[in-house]
Copies of this chain bind each other. A is one copy, B any other.
């Protein structure tokens, strides 16, 4: 109503109205010192009456913290990132921070990125080069890594899932229950650690069942529907024989199933197909996808919790590995 409404109230106006000094306002606002109960009461009333809330920039400037946590990633859509982002958002909110999102799909990250914009950074695998990461480390900027182990000289905490054992379960299942022996593995994007560990699990499962590793059965699926579909197509064209596909992740599995159908092979009769992640749509494709459940949301939330510990100078785990769990549906041949 009053024309002043447009300019938000400042701490000085609150102080005047309450008949105290700005320092006192600040103290009740932040609970940073004992204030006489009645004074505090008056202050609170004044704050309410003026609808006062402290200007974040002013606070940031003097306290040298932004109360924001940044997350750096490459993609926002796709099946994998939304749950991760959701977990991060939840964690950030729980800890009383705000969430600033940087997606690198459009630009190369500036090296100085985030320096005073956020109090700490959550960095997803592959969204920052080692040199930049090292620079952060030298400046002791708080960071936690997602689905990526840090370079040896900047031992930031990281969180990821049990890729290897998950992959092992998957592959062993196809061998033991469905008697598959020629199992294709589709690698993810180059240098992707998840893919590396999944391949490790794949190989160990083979070995445990005395099946020789055959490099002809390895191809690149890029954790991507289209790329994975193409890979299968090529394998087929090359006349490579196989009776199962571990697609690398669920997105790739979808592409694999489509390509196989297209080529007249039936899933799972002719070939078993399995994914990884148990993304929401996996139960709805046809046949319903056998996969490994990765607690993606939990990964995001945990990362924030580690970061917040760092920010508070509390002791903080150097790494956390979240468990995965086999999810049997029908694309492997079950039921």
Contact = CB atoms under 8 A, between A and B. Distances in A.
Contact of A281 (B6, B105, B138, B281): B281
Contact of A81 (B51, B53, B78, B82): B82
A139 to B, nearest CB: 6
A76 B83 CA distance: 7
A238 interface: no
Interface in A216-233: 225
Given A139-B6, A280-B77, A98 B100 contact: yes
A130 interface: no
B51 A55 contact: no
A106 interface: yes
A148 interface: no
Interface stretch (A111-119, A165-173, A319-327): A111-119
A232 to B, nearest CB: 15
Interface stretch (A26-34, A87-95, A302-310): A87-95
A105 B281 CA distance: 21
A103 interface: yes
B8 A56 contact: no
A112 B51 contact: yes
Contacts of A138: 5
A61 interface: yes
Nearest to A65: B57
A77 to B, nearest CB: 4
A36 B55 CA distance: 36
A145 to B, nearest CB: 21
Contact of A90 (B51, B105, B140, B281): B105
Interface string A107-141: 10000100111000000000000000000001110
A86 B85 CA distance: 12
Interface of A: 5-6, 8, 51, 53, 55-58, 60-61, 66, 68, 75-79, 81-83, 85-86, 89-90, 93-94, 98-103, 105-107, 112, 115-117, 138-140, 225, 254, 257-258, 280-281, 284-286, 297
8 contacts: A56-B116, A57-B57, A60-B60, A77-B83, A90-B105, A93-B103, A254-B281, A281-B284
Task: List the 6 closest A-B pairs by CB distance, nearest first.
Answer: A286-B286, A57-B60, A77-B82, A281-B281, A76-B86, A57-B61
